[in-house]
Chains A and B, each alone.
Chain A
Amino acid sequence: MNLTLAIGLWRQRLASPVRVVILGLLAVLPPTLMALVPGMGLAALSNGYPIAMVFAVGMIGQDVSSGVLQLVLARPVTRSEYVFSRWLAAGLGASAVSLAQVGLGWALVAIRHSPPDPRAMLLFAAGREFEIFGVVAVMALLSSLMGGLGDLALYVVLNVVGGIMSMVGQFQHVAAVSWLGQELGALLSPHVELAQIVAGTPSWSALAAYASNLTLCLLVAVLVMNRKELSYASG
């Protein structure tokens, strides 16, 4: 990872008041809900995608739109290094916030009720890491395709399309359409069932699908970046 590029992304994110406010709300509200509603448990914290999105949306596209990318690539840095650095930086930033959120949830529940099962919390936090790095890889791909915040719009549209296909397939009993919709959904919401692995009943195909999606997203993002012709005279 190129530390300069990583620090650049963190600075960009922390300089945006909207992103900082959303991160603050995401870090505090779900753990509070978890503590206030008994029985809700870890479901109150939901998944790691919203936190990851705050860091990942526009991770490449915003640099393209603002003309920063031309300046970055004028330096001796490879395009693949740029993609990996952005991916890792967004993933690490989201991981830090996610761990803080889970820790806060644990502390609030421990104060108000009794401490939650530490094993379940650990599994949950670790599962979140897979979700975060997986979805950030997807956003790296979408962000390499769309300028500005277009990656978020594309993500939402693809999610809706996947949901519709899945529903239509289920209602009309067309297995292929349903399967396509589910695969699209799985690509956009990557996760690994750690509980199954710990229980000794892992789904190897799900694990391979996760790793395959992640590497393919990064590979295609690098390929797209390599094909980009950046005009140094524009703007």
Chain B
Amino acid sequence: MPPADPASGGSTRSIPRWLLVAAAAFLVARVATGIFEQRHPPIQAELVQWHPAGAGEMQSRSTGLPVLYDFSAEWCGPCQKMQREVFADRSSAQTINGLFVPVRLVDRQREEGRNPPDVGALQARYQVDAFPTLVVAPADGSQPTVIVGYPGKAALMQQLTAAGVKARLQRGPVR
């Protein structure tokens, strides 16, 4: 084996100075950018093709793809995180656009005291009482898959993919 780093003065327990400096610098940068982005949120690319509720259901019936309802709210932090990490990510958005008919329903209860009729009706139908809630509703009206909360990008994409494949298999053999 090569000899120990001579710069360490022979000690095998030396801590590389560059690592200390890098860790401190990135920690400062993390705090600074976090504060900055809280005041000036970065613009997010919209890559998922959201449909209005009625049009989405019609498209679901004609294509056989399940509807993916995204129940969210403007004040909901995890919803914004999910938007940033999942819906603004190209590969995740491609998968969502390919497997589902995406429909977004934004809650306005806190801001306006009531919701648009279609949002209220769908919230009642799927008993939505927390945000974000994602519902995968198969086109044949069978049992929907409900995902409450944002479990992180990887876990969410796994759950969505499983629900999408299940709905696809229920629809018929894959060509």
| CB within 8 Å of A: which B52-80 residues | 77-78
Contacts A79-B12, A80-B16, A204-B36 given; does A212 touch B23 at CB 8 Å? yes
Assess whether A147 is interfacial by the CB under 8 Å rule: no
| Distance between Cα atoms of A226 and B78 in the complex (Å) | 38
| Distance between Cα atoms of A36 and B165 in the complex (Å) | 11
| CB within 8 Å of A: which B1-47 residues | 1-5, 8, 11-16, 19-20, 22-23, 26-27, 29-30, 32-34, 36-37, 42-45, 47
Contacts A120-B94, A195-B88, A203-B42 given; does A170 touch B30 at CB 8 Å? no
Assess whether B114 is interfacial by the CB under 8 Å rule: no
Instruction: Please give, as numbers and ranges, the residues of chain B lying within 8 Å of A76 by CB-CB distance.
Output: 1-4, 12
Contacts A37-B168, A216-B23, A219-B20 given; does A166 touch B88 at CB 8 Å? no
Stretch at the interface among B101-109, B115-123, B136-144, B145-153: B145-153
Assess whether A75 is interfacial by the CB under 8 Å rule: yes
| Distance between Cα atoms of A69 and B37 in the complex (Å) | 44
Nearest CB in chain B to that of A199: its residue: B45
Assess whether A66 is interfacial by the CB under 8 Å rule: no
Assess whether A191 is interfacial by the CB under 8 Å rule: yes
Size category of the binding interface on chain A: 35 or more
| Distance between Cα atoms of A227 and B21 in the complex (Å) | 20
Let me know if B22 and A215 touch, CB within 8 A: yes
For A2, A41, A182, the residue with the greatest tally of chain B CB atoms inside 10 Å of its CB is A41
Nearest CB in chain A to that of B89: its residue: A195
Let me know if A185 and B37 touch, CB within 8 A: no
Stretch at the interface among A19-27, A43-51, A92-100: A43-51
Kindly provide the distance from the CB of A36 to the nearest chain B CB, expressed in whole angstroms: 7
Instruction: Please give, as numbers and ranges, the residues of chain B lying within 8 Å of A211 by CB-CB distance.
Output: 22, 26, 29-30
Nearest CB in chain B to that of A168: its residue: B149
Let me know if A79 and B151 touch, CB within 8 A: no
Let me know if A41 and B95 touch, CB within 8 A: yes
| Distance between Cα atoms of A203 and B33 in the complex (Å) | 9
Let me know if A77 and B154 touch, CB within 8 A: no
- Cβ 8 A contact of A78, one of B5, B99, B151: B5
Instruction: Please give, as numbers and ranges, the residues of chain A lying within 8 Å of B161 by CB-CB distance.
Output: 40, 43-44
Besides the known contacts A208-B33, A218-B23, 19 further A-B residue pairs in the complex with CB atoms under 8 A apart: A39-B95, A39-B98, A41-B98, A42-B94, A43-B157, A43-B160, A44-B161, A46-B154, A76-B2, A78-B5, A78-B13, A120-B94, A123-B91, A170-B130, A182-B78, A208-B30, A208-B32, A212-B29, A219-B19
Q: List 25 A-B contacts (CB under 8 A).
A: A2-B2, A40-B165, A41-B95, A42-B95, A43-B160, A78-B5, A80-B16, A120-B91, A166-B78, A179-B77, A182-B78, A182-B81, A189-B153, A193-B88, A195-B90, A201-B43, A202-B42, A204-B36, A207-B33, A208-B30, A208-B33, A209-B30, A212-B23, A215-B19, A216-B23
Q: Which B residues lie at the A interface, using CB under 8 A?
A: 1-5, 8, 11-16, 19-20, 22-23, 26-27, 29-30, 32-34, 36-37, 42-45, 47, 77-78, 81, 84-85, 88-92, 94-95, 98-99, 130-131, 148-154, 157-158, 160-161, 164-165, 168, 174-175
In the A-B complex, the 4 residue pairs with the closest CB atoms: A39-B98, A43-B95, A212-B26, A205-B33
